[in-house]
Amino acid sequence: MAHFITSKDIPADGEHLDKSKVAKLQNICGLIGGVGTLVSILLLAFTGGTFQGAYAFSWLFAVFFVLTICFGGCFWTFLHNLSNSGWGTSVRRLMENLGFVFPFMIVFCIPFLFPSVQKYLWEWMPAYATETAAHPDYTASEALLHSSDPHNHLLAKKTFYLNPVFWHVRFFAFFIGLGFFIWLARQFSIRQDTDPNPGTKNLFAARKHASWSMIIFGVSLTFLALDWVMALDFSWFSTMFGVYVFAGSALSGMATLILTALALQKLGYLEKVVTKEHYHIMGKLCFAFTIFWAYVTFSQFFLYWYANIPEETRYFILRNTGNWNVLSIGLVILHFALPFLALLRSDLKKKPLFMVVICIYILVVHMLDVYHMIIPERGPSVGLVTHQEKLELFGSSFQVFGDLVALVIVISGFLFFYLRNLTSVRLYPNRDPRILESANLSN
């Protein structure tokens, strides 16, 4: 071991991130995120035509990408508490702070409640409204079955789930339910910092509630992914899509945690409690979820290719149209093969510079993966193309510009809330009974 930490090496009051060190960055991010979100809400509410539709997809792409990172923070927090992990105590507060950005993300989701946005993103909503209004004597499913558009017949059997009222209920339930449980886990952790008996009440309470928290997490991630992304094409369905999104969320969340820890150490924090051994373990977790992502992705593709049912294969057909297949094939190499080979060596996972590069790479490729989930639906839905054969990778330069603008705005807002969380509490639970075990980690 390179060092041995005793209780004398752990500050009695823990470590606090000096707000002045990140104030400038936080203010800039807050300004970009706040003004950009306000302008985007106005544009999405009051503009019309192809611009509104195209930017609606850009906004969904940016918001969902950041949400997956927040989901990753929630997952690692709940998993740490549920498994009674010792090694992760030093970085647990980072997990909690990352996950606790999730409830604030509802601010960026306001445009998804506008009917003018919904009609472009989720075409089943206007179809549902039109047919039920045209056939008032029928139930929703019967009205859709009497529709002149045979495409709506596929929606008829899904109205028990895909109906506007239930969709909006779920919209708020995701943020209230999961937001409460990540807040609760963070509160137990914060109370431990001042608890006279830090090894009893709050520690056990966090472990007890972690089982419920993990269930709420799994349900929230799965059904949010179904409601917001899979429902972009209501005729398509997948029993593995939630797991697919989870794999990317866990991977991107861990990459963000590694970058956060390295950045804080660059500022002079966490030097006693976070070591190369921690980066080694977190690097191994990135390696594991790189493989898991590939396993789930290939399994979904293989099962649909083997069955060859039109309602299932349309997702992949669309993403192999035009030159979208370049990205489809590229993700196999970029999201799996390259990080798999890079993370094989144990010594590299202990090198800070390498971990910075590989974690930024993971986040960029995960962004492309989310782009691949959402943006191909934009052309047919918004009417930017009349035939799928004309659907090209990324689309026009104007559409790509909108994608980048939305991404910058939402990431800036995310960083504002994340920095706010980091500066509001101690950077690690210094009074947790397992902090010395974590600080002296050897693997």
pLDDT at 196 over 80: no
Average pLDDT score over residue span 143-157: 81
Look-up: residue for tokens 């139930």?
A: 139
Interatomic CA distance for residues 342 and 349, integer angstroms:
9
Look-up: residue for tokens 């991630």?
A: 221
Give, as one character, the DSSP assignment of residue 234: T
Task: Choose from 98-107, 228-237, 395-404 the range with maximum mean pLDDT.
Answer: 98-107
pLDDT at 367 over 80: yes
Smallest CA-to-CA distance from 179 within 220, 208, 211, 209 is with 220
pLDDT at 67 over 90: yes
Smallest CA-to-CA distance from 379 within 399, 402, 403 is with 399
pLDDT digits (tens, 9 = 90+) for 248-283: 999 999 999 999 999 999 999 999 999 999 999 999
pLDDT at 28: 98
pLDDT digits (tens, 9 = 90+) for 296-317: 999 988 888 888 887 778 888 8
Alpha carbon distances (Å) from 44 to 85, 126, 137:
44, 17, 34
Interatomic CA distance for residues 380 and 335, integer angstroms:
27
Asked if residue 260 lies in contact with residue 278, where contact means CB atoms within 8 angstroms, the answer is no
Average pLDDT score over residue span 198-227: 90
pLDDT at 388: 42
pLDDT at 389: 40
Report the mean per-residue pLDDT for the chain: 90
| Residues of the chain above pLDDT 70, percent | 95
Phi and psi at 431, nearest 5°, equal -105, 10
Q: Choose between 100 and 272: higher pLDDT.
A: 100
Interatomic CA distance for residues 89 and 80, integer angstroms:
8
Element spanning 426, H or E: none
pLDDT at 35 over 50: yes
pLDDT at 382: 59
Average pLDDT score over residue span 131-141: 84
pLDDT digits (tens, 9 = 90+) for 339-356: 999 999 999 999 999 999
| The token pair that represents 63 in the structure block | 């918001």
